[in-house]
Structure 1
Amino acid sequence: MLAQQKEQLRKQIIQKREALTPDQIRELSLKVIENLKGLKSFQKAKTVMLYYPHRGEVDLTSLFEEVLKEGKKLLLPKVVGEEIFPIEVEDLSLLSKGKFNIVEPIGGKIYQPQKVDFVAVPGLAFDLTGCRLGFGGGYYDRFLPRVKGTKVGIAYDFQIFDRLPCEKHDVKLNQIVTPTRVITPNNP
């Protein structure tokens, strides 16, 4: 897919996401969370990296408290320069808007990516082979190769495609979770 085609796809998906009502986002997000909680990799994980929703993304924030209550370490991404760092969050009041106006942790312990057991990965489009199309900044492209744990794409059903072109630097996801299904690529 040419850069121009990727950009067009990004715009289409963002428009679809931003057209969702708050009630639709809440309802679909709760279905995604139920499917996510059913994953063995999520259940076994001791360190769970989620994300704060941006521009109509699936909203996992209702899962934050639950992760903490289960005694798991909750990590959220923080952008510093051109990199994402997984930061431990113990107090949900210690969050503020950071780069790109995305809510992220204030302070907190930085975790090594290779020590993260489970990462919920946002994106604009995903395919059945585990490829992901992001916003184009390359932040997750640089972060995910260092993660040894399970990498799970989080999406609405309209964000799933049969095939997206994967580039050499693209890390394939282990699974993709939508409101209606869990996709396990045959070549993650």
Structure 2
Amino acid sequence: MKKSEIRKEIMVRRTALSKAEMVEINASLLRQFSILDFTEINSIHIFLPIVEKNEPDTFLMIDWLKAHQPQIKIIVPKADFDTALMTNHHYEGKEDLQENLYKILEPQKGALHTGDVDMVIIPLLAFDMSGNRVGYGKGFYDRFLQPMGTRKIGLSLFSELTVIDDVNVHDVKLDECLTPEKRYVFPVVFK
């Protein structure tokens, strides 16, 4: 299936999820996140959820990190829609966040992070068994991730697809993807 078709289908499925279903899905995603190996992780870039799009509640993960891995620096993105580039900023708490024109929460005073990022938690609509992902189509994360040798982990509300027909040479593959049911590590090896 083409990315444009996948986006339409997944957005319909996401919109149909009730608040109770989202609470259950987010709790399951947090369980999957909490069992990741954070041994070598000093900094994590984590996207902030767009509530209107029923995105995973990454604030649960941020709160978990602060309670269980307080030594890890939490980095959040700020998008420049003119250049389609992102910058990393230290997370200073919810009080430092403000919605931009696209209803995306962004840091206002959090210091710019220019160092390494050991793990990136990536938004997506869907993924396949090769680690390809379908996002919203603007390419922010592909541009952001291309020069980085970081651990790339997607968060998906739904199980994997079998094929994304129009993978682009500039698309950056995931290393892992968390779903409510399980963690996928790519490439997936079938036995």
TM-score under structure 2 length normalisation: 0.87
SS in 2 for 1:65: helix
Preserved contact between residue 78 and residue 86 of structure 2 (Cα < 8 Å): yes
Structure 1 segment 83-94 matched on structure 2, within 5 A = 83-94=85-96
State the Cα distance separating 1:43 from its structure 2 match: 4.8
TM-align CA RMSD: 1.7
Residues of 1 paired with 2:118 and 2:124: CA distance? 19
Sequence identity (%)? 28
Residues of 2 paired with 1:45 and 1:89: CA distance? 16
1:146 aligned residue: 147
1:95 aligned residue: 97
Query: What number of residue pairs does the alignment pair up?
Result: 181
Preserved contact between residue 3 and residue 164 of structure 2 (Cα < 8 Å): no
Residues of 2 paired with 1:104 and 1:22: CA distance? 24
Preserved contact between residue 100 and residue 106 of structure 2 (Cα < 8 Å): yes
Residues of 2 paired with 1:97 and 1:120: CA distance? 20
Instruction: Give 4+ residue runs of structure 1 displaced > 6 Å after superposition.
Output: none
State the Cα distance separating 1:45 from its structure 2 match: 1.4
State the Cα distance separating 1:18 from its structure 2 match: 1.4
Q: 1:108 aligns with which of 107, 110, 131?
A: 110
Q: Mind listing any 5+ residue stretches in structure 1 that lack a counterpart? A: none
Q: 1:66 aligns with which of 57, 64, 67?
A: 64
Structure 1 stretch 84-93 or stretch 132-141: which is displaced more?
84-93
1:23 and 2:20 correspond: yes
**Structure with a larger share of its residues in helix:** 1
SS in 1 for 2:94: coil
Preserved contact between residue 68 and residue 90 of structure 1 (Cα < 8 Å): no
Preserved contact between residue 131 and residue 175 of structure 2 (Cα < 8 Å): yes
Residues of 2 paired with 1:111 and 1:185: CA distance? 28
State the Cα distance separating 1:13 from its structure 2 match: 0.5
Q: Mind listing any 5+ residue stretches in structure 2 that lack a counterpart? A: none
1:75 aligned residue: 75
